[in-house]
Amino acid sequence: MRVTPDVLGFEFIGRHAEAITNALAGNTRVSGTVIDETRNTFTLLANAERKSIIKESTIFRFELPDHAIVEINGKLLVGRPEDRLKKCVKRLW
């Protein structure tokens, strides 16, 4: 699968994700399955714990259906999931 800006319109619930947060104390990594999505957060199930991750300050790595791994800046994912489909994104590369 070729990675295009259309990947922002994908459904992320149920996908494996790794969140890399650039906190003041250093980089924090959380890996798990996305179980919920709101306008500003993803909720990951990691080691039987629910972790809420703020989208705007995080870089996410998602595994796509064809097992490709894609890295997305969380700033591009901010907004309600249904509104992301309408968003027009200029070429990212």
Q: How far apart are CA 80 and CA 93, in angstroms?
A: 24
pTM for this model (two decimals)? 0.80
Both structure tokens of 50: 């629910």
Domains of the chain by residue range: 12-84
Q: Under CATH, domain 12-84 is a member of which superfamily?
A: Ribonuclease P/MRP, subunit p29 (2.30.30.210)
21-37 pLDDT, tens per residue?
A: 866 556 678 999 999 99
Per-10-residue mean pLDDT, the chain, length 93: 69 91 71 93 92 90 87 88 70 54
Q: How far apart are CA 33 and CA 47, in angstroms?
A: 10
Per DSSP, the three-state class of 84 is helix
Q: How far apart are CA 82 and CA 11, in angstroms?
A: 9
DSSP single-letter state for residue 81: H
Q: How far apart are CA 39 and CA 54, in angstroms?
A: 9
